[in-house]
Amino acid sequence: MNKNTVLAWATFIMLVVGVGLIALGAFRYNDIAGWGFASVGIGFFAIAWVFNALKGRV
């Protein structure tokens, strides 16, 4: 595996975890904790976007 493949897998895993956290915030926790889960999920999306942007440049 080269560096681009590692970044691609990291991006995919972070997207899956982000979707899971947003789903937990939306469907499992309907109180204030749900907002926290959803915001962390959006943060995972942002980091995955950075990893995707780094592919081919590292």
Listed as ranges, residues in the chain with pLDDT below 70 are none
- Can you give the pLDDT at residue 54? 87
pTM of the model: 0.85
Angle CA 1–4–39, to nearest 5: 115
Under DSSP, the state recorded for 31 is S
pLDDT tens, 27-36?
999 888 999 9
Q: Where are the domains of the chain?
A: 3-54
56: number of Cβ within 10 Å: 9
